Amino acid sequence: MEEHADFSLGGKEVVTETNLRDEFYWKLVADFIGPQSGEGLELHKGTCKNRVLIQVGLLREENNFPWTAVLDWLKKIFSRHQSANFRCLIERGIAATCSLENDARQSFLESNVNFNFVGPICDSIGVERKHLLELKDFSERAQSIEVTNGLILELTDFVDREKLAPVVIVTWLRNFNPEFCKNGNVQRAYQVLRGKIKRLKFYSRNFATRSHRRSAAMESLLQSPFELVKTKTPKLAKKRIKREDASNHEKASVTEEYDSSEMMESGGSEDSGGNESEFDNELESGSREESWEAEGLTLLDIAMLSVQKLSSIYGQNSATCQQVSLDLLRNQYALTCKEHPDMSEFEQKLGSLAGEVPLASPVHFLNSNAWLFSGCA
């Protein structure tokens, strides 16, 4: 993922200096807008010069053709290399063409395309398509680099292109960090990764705009470390907030259920906390991330979901439903204040203003809005 690479040929002298708009270029144009069969292009011989892909990049840029259509066409005319990373090959080829001069540039254009190319990060340590498909050991090279979000996206993109079982990424990543999946439980390790990868793809799609793929936000995301092995840090014991009214057994049982499974409480039960391994805690965290569609939920989001679920059980206008949802929100708010002291300071400031301005408490304010926006009021 080159941070400052130039992937554009527009207006550059290199186009005329290398005569990219030659007779073969117009054959490419004719095939793309016509039969898309590759007939007459002589691309079936097995090898392809980098010059051809650079011309495809010029064709796409000058005519503003969408990448999706161009990539589908390339898969047709290069039937033996349908899983190749064509876009990255074209973009890196353009960057190289623009940066090289004279004989070096000409030599690059006449060299063969490396269809075993996985991505720029894997390429930097000499890992190619066959290494991943054959599950070869490349740990000596892999452990020389840090596992970043960019590497994870590169490997998951390769999985998608090759139509592989996603769980195979665990085997590859063990080359980068020997502590990852040390117990050999590949399926369980993938369950932990799945939610994190889903979240990463979500943010990557948001940052990757067509007009400016290499934005500062995108680069920051790609270069950030991806945590394979959870760093062990001292944990503060978390105690449950006692409910004010424990006489209603049904209400308490429902509250307990939503506290543990739906409200994303991280503490778990006090009895089992000491027996669970660090890996089990990470698995639980990864599962929660996946279940919430890889988006961070606010207290209002959680309260709205709670109202909707409880309304289906007790009925929308049920007093019991209103009380249970308020209790759930109160518990979640208390836990959030423990984890984020700034919220406690904010509530204290509101309390100091209560005598001057009539203000609702944050919990009642959130609860009222949850009922309003969930459509259950």
Q: Is residue 283 included in any domain, yes or no?
A: no
* Pair 145, 202 in one domain: yes
Cα separation, 69 vs 103, in Å, equals: 33
* Pair 131, 208 in one domain: yes
The amino acid that residue 325 corresponds to is S
* Pair 41, 132 in one domain: no
- Please state the domain count of the chain: 3
Domain region containing 95: 17-110
Q: Is residue 277 included in any domain, yes or no?
A: no
Q: Is residue 265 included in any domain, yes or no?
A: no
* Pair 142, 200 in one domain: yes
* Pair 138, 45 in one domain: no
Q: Is residue 45 included in any domain, yes or no?
A: yes
Cα separation, 8 vs 237, in Å, equals: 55
* Pair 29, 93 in one domain: yes
pLDDT in tens, the chain (377 residues): 444 455 778 777 888 888 888 999 999 999 999 998 888 888 876 678 999 999 999 999 988 899 999 999 999 998 888 889 999 999 999 998 988 888 899 999 999 999 999 999 999 999 999 999 999 999 999 988 999 999 999 999 999 999 999 999 999 999 999 889 888 888 999 998 998 999 888 887 776 654 445 567 777 788 889 988 877 655 544 444 444 444 444 444 444 444 433 333 333 433 433 433 444 444 444 444 444 443 446 777 777 777 777 777 767 667 777 787 788 788 778 877 777 777 777 777 777 776 666 677 788 888 887 777 666 65
* Pair 129, 188 in one domain: yes
Q: Which residue among 174, 199, 223 closes a domain? A: 223
Q: What is the pTM of this model?
A: 0.58
Q: Is residue 6 included in any domain, yes or no?
A: no
| 305 burial level (CB within 10 Å; 0-12, 13-18, 19+) | middle
Q: Is residue 149 included in any domain, yes or no?
A: yes
Write the DSSP assignment of 302-325 as a string of letters.
Answer: HHHHHHHHHHHHH-TT-HHHHHHH
Place of tokens 């941070």: 3
* Pair 78, 163 in one domain: no
Q: Which residue among 66, 86, 110 closes a domain? A: 110
Q: Is residue 126 included in any domain, yes or no?
A: yes
Q: Is residue 281 included in any domain, yes or no?
A: no
Helices (H), the chain: 14-17, 23-33, 50-63, 67-77, 86-99, 102-110, 120-124, 129-133, 139-142, 149-162, 168-173, 186-207, 216-223, 249-261, 270-273, 278-291, 299-314, 319-339, 341-353, 362-373
* Pair 314, 364 in one domain: yes
Cα separation, 139 vs 176, in Å, equals: 6
* Pair 133, 67 in one domain: no
Place of tokens 């590949």: 186
Q: Which residue among 223, 242, 267 closes a domain? A: 223
* Pair 81, 156 in one domain: no
Task: Decide: 37 and 77 in contact? Cβ < 8 Å.
Answer: yes
* Pair 124, 106 in one domain: no
